[in-house]
Structure 1
Amino acid sequence: MSENMMERLESATSSLKQEILQLKEEYKENQREIAFLSSANVQNALMSFQENKGDESRKTLSWNLNTKLVQYETQVKFFQQITGIEVKHYFKRTEQKRENEVLYNHKMAGRCLDLPFELEFKTIESQSEQQGECKVSHISVQMDCQAHPSLMQLLQRTETTMDLLGFFRSLSDYAEWAEFRRNTFAQFKEKYPAAVRLPLGPSGDHMILMNTDFPQCQMLLVWKNTISDEGTVVPILDLLTKIPEQVVDRYGVLEEASSSFKNLLQVFGIQQTIDKIIQSFCLQGANPRP
């Protein structure tokens, strides 16, 4: 073999070795890239990216829920302002499932202005796709009726008729009248402290009007809020007199005070009528507070 041929073979062999070394380096680089892509760092990066997307979704969902919560709270406050009814606790439990019907048990505790109540009722709700119905099947109401005898009749009627909406409507009206009476009594006691007595406090159902010159001359103003069979709240006011015989002549007109009082109520309303009675009967020599 000639010398030139040997040189060409050595040159070709050297080139092949260089290519083999280059291919090995490329292979190793590819292996390193594959190892990196399958490493925990890349997995953590992918998980972090997915979590960030999840965080964005959760933030959007949280914002929507907060917005709805604010809307519901606004509606509840509006309902409380209109009705005076504030629900403290509410619980609903599935008691029995029937064909196309579900029996639920509800428990509620709250107050209507200053009147606390506890309510338990059951409803039968239809699961029909054509028509959904909800019927009240049982009602039990617990309230302290000692100071409000008319409420006992309302509770009994509610448990008999199972008229849940009627109960809340009547309770709301009754509480408003009770608050109006309490505020009225408190205002007159503050305005005429020497002429007005409240034996049971502002929340009682009567007040005593006294003549400042003759304390033995008194009038008893009785104010009872009653609830009719239809659930309507009706305020009933009466004026009774207690006048000694020795001063009857001076206040002879008081013999017809009760009937005159009812006539004044129809003309002037409750507060103006009471004020006129106090000024004409109680303040012969005293000046009311401004």
Structure 2
Amino acid sequence: MHFLSLVGRRLAAAIPALLIILAGLFLLLQLAPGDTVDALVAQVGGADATMIEELRRHYQLDQSTTTRLGDYLWRLVHLDLGESAIYGKPVADVIIERLPATLLLMGSALALSFAFGMVLGVIAARRVNKWQDTLISTLGLVFYATPSFWFGLMGIFVFAVYLSWLPAGGFGTIGAGLEGWALVLDIAWHLVLPTLTLALIFLAVYLRIMRASMLEVSTLDFVRTARAKGLSENAVVVRHVLRNAMLPMVTLIGLQAGTMLGGSVVVESVFALPGLGRLAYESVMQRDLNTLLGVVFVSAILVIVINFVVDLIYSRLDPRINTGH
């Protein structure tokens, strides 16, 4: 019952926010110069006035902004994302084709940054003010301060061009005709550089949060009591400090879900990955409003789902939290 109540509250808060985001983006894009027809005409080298008028009628650009916004929101209620002007097929089909690459990139980068950030944060906290702490903190600062596109370009130059260890981009070997585990390994091999590029910045954040949280929890009364009972330091860290110190880390996953989606735009563009980030960039350049709004809609759904899962994990880690109230 508590679970259903939590789902209901999250939906009640998420649906209005989602509609406001989509409506605001729709209206903001009307202020941008040019539209879908202008982009299509520029691609083919021009067209006469009759053709342009027919295209505007086909894409309903001859209607008022209010009418088109109302029509879009009504179609959205029926889960109809419209037609893609770039690909000439339903936006839902285009997004379904691009979604796996983004999910794999985000999932692998999140897992890598969280795991290594937690481990490095624990090591830094256990060796506070020593050379290990200084080295880890310095590396974290460098990772956080360096733009992701620079990491990507340097990774391509060093590991793909100079050493020829990893592929420079793409989501798989073109024309290889791989199947089964061979296909899985090939995709994983192509995702190594993009995953590292996206994960390094978030790894820096996680290790700093974990270090600070470990130091804070270590001074609390229940940790002192555990030490007074004669427990070993490793037992105190694992059983008492680590679990409570992970709470801010879990919260940060939900807060950074949207940021990671935004970072995937840069990473997917650098490594030519066919994901939602690159699709959003192409939609902006082509003024494809339906596709861009579809990407934003799916991205917002992903963020909402991730935050919901984070709430469940948070309540599991901290039994004091009652999800029913």
Q: TM-score range by the shorter chain?
A: under 0.3
| Length-normalised TM-score, structure 2 | 0.21
Greater share of strand residues, 1 or 2? Answer: 1
Instruction: Report which of the two structures shows the higher radius of gyration computed on alpha carbons.
Output: 1
